[in-house]
Amino acid sequence: RFHPFIPAGGVGSRLWPLSRADAPKFLLDLTGSGSSLLRATFDRLAGLSAGPVMVVTGRSHAGAVQEQLPELTADDLVLEPSPKDSAAAIGLACTLIERRDPTAIIGSFAADHVVEPASAFQEVVKEAVRAADTGRIVTIGITPSSPATGFGYIKAGQSLGLDQAPHALAVEQFVEKPDEETARAYVASGKYTWNAGMFVAPVGLMLSYLRRSEPELARGLDRIADAWETPERDAVVDKVWPTLTKTAIDYAVAEPAAAAGDVAMVPGDFTWEDVGDFAAINRLNKVDPRTDAPVSILGQNNRVLTDESSGIVVSDTGRLIALIGVADIVVVDTPDALLVTTAEHAQRVKNAVDSLKRNG
């Protein structure tokens, strides 16, 4: 009855030149574990449901996703012709699952986070499923460590007093990506947590909010689902998908559902990192086990010489790299592009990518 799925889209442009259109963040190994973020997300979800885990991703990633998840059947690999943001991707998964099982509890889990340990994550998800069973959209809250503006903020209130989900709290407000001043005030108040980018809910409740706030999008998804098991699937997807509204599930569902009192939060009692930029990777891999130096080295290239330096080196090129007396440096060496910055300025990589896109 629990149907977990993973929306996997978005490039992660703050990780350029490691992330590219054909090597999006979720397909990268950012922890040096040998698994991509997607593979690790999939493995964490295995065992939580009797049925399969569904993945929604772009057609252009189908081959790479299939390679990383060989056990995924064609039925559970849902492909979109172009990125239409998370409301379309998550909405399509929900619409398809509702046809298979109208009483399903769905779980949407972002493809591109580092979560540890898996056992703690699984206990939280199990509790979220029991809380969702009482007719709520359940989010997972992460204690904020900075006034980051790239996250959703959840204001939780009273305990719901559920025996089966003792940590579940009522949610008073959900605010997606507030401006910096607002985020500062939220963090200072101590009353807000970050949204971990995971939603556990009765499928009908998710869709009722999507249908209310984005009726055209929801109608488009219904047309696609109507054709899904027919020979017309591809033709209908190609026709309808480009017309869908681009918006995030957080605006389309989480904000209005919280305002209506239909959202709950279970605290995410585990290590959670969005790994949005190289500073985050630097935080995760403080010391490289291969060298004992405070330089983390990712990729296949071991030829890195460090002398009184700290930071992160990502390289698959085989070129010898020497760091001497530089602190918190970020070096990303790829065959056709070299990035040098510092952890402090890692956020600004996105601006460089944007200007590259503008100027070709």
Least Cβ distance, residue 202 to ligand GDD (angstroms)? 19
Instruction: Write a three-state SS string for the chain.
Output: CEEEEEEECCCCHHHCCCCECCECHHHCCCCCCCCCHHHHHHHHHCCCCCCCCEEEEEHHHHHHHHHHCCCCCHHHEEEECCCCHHHHHHHHHHHHHHHHCCCCEEEEECCCCEEECHHHHHHHHHHHHHHHCCCCEEEEEECCCCCCCCCEEEEEEEECCECCECCCEEEEEEEECCCHHHHHHHHHHCCEEEEEEEEEEEHHHHHHHHHHHCHHHHHHHHHHHHHCCCCCHHHHHHHHHHHCCCCCHHHHHHHHHHHCCCEEEEECCCEEECCCCHHHHHHHCCCCCCCCCCEEEECCCCCEEEECCCEEEEECCCCCEEEECCCCEEEEEECCEEEEEEHHHHHHHHHHHHHHHHHC
Using the structure block, give the residue that is written with the tokens 């630097």.
282
**CB of residue 283 vs ligand GDD: minimum separation in angstroms?**
15
Contact between 86 and ligand GDD (CB under 6 A)?
yes
Asked if 151 interacts with ligand GDD (CB under 6 A), we say yes
Please identify, among the stretches 44-52, 83-91, 225-233, 257-265, the one whose residues bind ligand GDD according to the rule CB under 6 A.
83-91
Binding mask 15-34 for ligand GDD (x = CB under 6 A): -----------x--------
- The pattern of x and - marking residues 241 through 280 that bind ligand GDD according to CB under 6 A reads ---------x-----------------------x------
Considering only residues 201 through 240, tell me which ones interact with ligand GDD, judged by CB under 6 A: none
Q: Does 107 bind ligand GDD (CB under 6 A)?
A: no
Taking CB under 6 A as the rule, does residue 195 contact ligand GDD? yes
> Taking contact as CB under 6 A, which single stretch among the options 7-15, 99-107, 256-264, 342-350 is the one that binds ligand GDD?
7-15
Q: Which long-range contacts (CB under 8 A, 24 or more apart) does 301-308 make?
A: 301/333
Angle of the 85-100 helix axis to the 203-213 helix axis, nearest 10: 130
Q: Indicate which single residue of 54, 111, 313, 343 sits in contact with ligand GDD (rule: CB under 6 A).
A: 111
Interacting residues with ligand GDD between 117 and 136 (CB under 6 A): none
HSE-CB for 99 with a 13 A CA cutoff: 14
- From 82-90, 227-235, 286-294, 336-344, give the range in contact with ligand GDD by CB under 6 A: 82-90
Q: Which stretch binds ligand GDD (CB under 6 A): 76-84, 205-213, 258-266, 320-328?
A: 76-84
| Least distance CB 22 / ligand GDD (angstroms) | 15
Is residue 85 involved in binding ligand GDD (CB under 6 A)? yes
- Contact call for residue 110 and ligand GDD (CB under 6 A): yes
CB of 174 to ligand GDD, least distance (A): 8
9 counts as binding ligand GDD under rule CB under 6 A: yes
Of 4, 147, 178, 197, the one binding ligand GDD by CB under 6 A? 197
Q: How far is the CB of 167 from ligand GDD (least distance, A)?
A: 19
User: Which residues make up the interface to ligand GDD (CB under 6 A)?
Assistant: 7-10, 26, 56-57, 80, 83-86, 89, 110-112, 150-152, 176, 194-195, 197, 250, 274
